[in-house]
Amino acid sequence: MTKPATILLIEDQRMDIELTLNAFREARLANNIQVATSGEEALDYMVGKGKFADRKVHPLPDLILLDLKMPGIDGFEVLKQLKKTEKLKRIPVVVLTSSKEEGNRVLSFNLGANSYLVKPVSFDGFLHIVKEIGEYWIVLNVKPPGD
């Protein structure tokens, strides 16, 4: 039996964090969901710095769900840093944002995002997206060799 996937949710808005966690519970996805509430915290998590040093408690994620618009270090900078770091660059990053702006989409993919999803307004819509994320990225997607 394989271990449940670890998902790192990088989101600064408390309501969006709760919505995402509730959707994962409702979808019955048995994953270990870690949360970083800022870009700085996300980067600390990914390199195992400070309170994230214990990899048994804070394992490297199998999937990252990344919001773009955060104060301080934004999602674009987080994405840029992750994709230029050798041991982190192959971890799939799904941008999960409220932005429909084409420029944000282009920049996200140029920086190495694996997918770009616009957050639906309704909980049912969000639940559908979460189920699709779980089905594709956690169940169906085959990881690169060596992971």
**Contact (Cβ atoms closer than 8 angstroms) between residue 81 and residue 124:** no
- The lowest-confidence range among 29-33, 79-83, 92-96, 97-101 is 29-33
Yes or no: domain 6-140 corresponds to CATH 3.30.530.20? no
pLDDT of 80 strictly over 80: yes
Residue 3 one-letter amino acid: K
Sorting pLDDT into bands at 50, 70 and 90, what band is 1? Answer: very low
With a pLDDT cut of 90, the percent of the chain lying above it is 64
Tokens 């490297």 belong to 60
Q: Where are the domains of the chain?
A: 6-140
The pLDDT value given to residue 147: 56
Q: Is 128 helix (H, G, I), strand (E, B) or coil?
A: helix
**27 contacts: CB under 8 Å, gap ≥ 6:** 127, 130, 131, 134
Computed over every residue of the chain, the mean pLDDT equals: 89
The pLDDT value given to residue 146: 65
More confident residue, 72 or 32: 72
What are the structure tokens assigned to 136, written together? 């594709």
